[in-house]
Amino acid sequence: MIQDLPQSVLFCCDHNAVRSPMAEGIMKKFYGTGTYVQSVGVMNDLEIDGFSIGVCEEIGVELSRHRSRSFDEMEQWGDDLSSFDLIVSLSPASQRRALELTRYFHLDVEYWPIMDPTGLGETRETKLNAYRQVRDQIISHLIKRWGKPLEA
C-alpha cells in the first residue's frame, strides 16, 4: 500500500557499504530532498563497495562519495535515532540492532529482506548481476512503499 513520504528515513544494513547506501542514494534520487535520508551499518569496517557504486551509476545515482558509518558513530556525530520517523533495516542483524536501540522510542522500524550480494558470482559480470538484483529489489520496495519516483 502506497503511503505518504515520511520526514526522515534511516536505512541500515550490516556494514553500510552495499545495501543501505544504495537505498539511501536511490531514495534521494526518486523522491527528492523533501525527506531527510541517511544510512548506517551495524559495523563500520568496510568502505563503500565498488560494485554498488557501479550498478547505481547505471541508473544515475552517485555513491562514490559515500562514507560508511555505524549506529554508534551516527550518535557520536549528533544524529539521534529518535529524530527519525522510520528506520528500514535491510538485513537480519541490522533489524535486531535497530529494534534494540529503539525499544524506548516511538518510531517505526520496518524490515525489507534484501539479499546480500557480496560473495556471489564468479566473474565480474555475474557479480554485477547480483548487485543489480539487489538494486532492483530496493527499487521495488521503494515503489511499493512510496509510489512511482517523482523524477525519472
pTM given for the model: 0.92
Tens of pLDDT, residues 58-76 = 999 999 999 999 988 887 8
CA distance 34 to 88: 18
Q: In angstroms, what CA-CA distances link 94 with 66, 81, 121, 127?
A: 19, 14, 24, 23
User: In the chain, what are the domain boundaries?
Assistant: 8-145
- Fold (topology level) of 8-145: Rossmann fold (3.40.50)
Pick 41 or 44 by higher pLDDT.
41
Other C-beta atoms lying within 10 Å of the C-beta of residue 87: 25
The region of weakest confidence among 20-24, 103-107, 122-126, 143-147 is: 103-107
Task: Tell me the one-letter amino acid at 22.
Answer: M
Identify the DSSP state of 70.
Answer: B
Q: What is the pLDDT of residues 130-151, one digit of tens each?
A: 999 999 999 999 999 999 998 6
Residue 90, class by beta-carbon neighbours within 10 Å (0-12 exposed, 13-18 middle, 19+ buried)? buried
pLDDT at residue 20 is higher than 60: yes
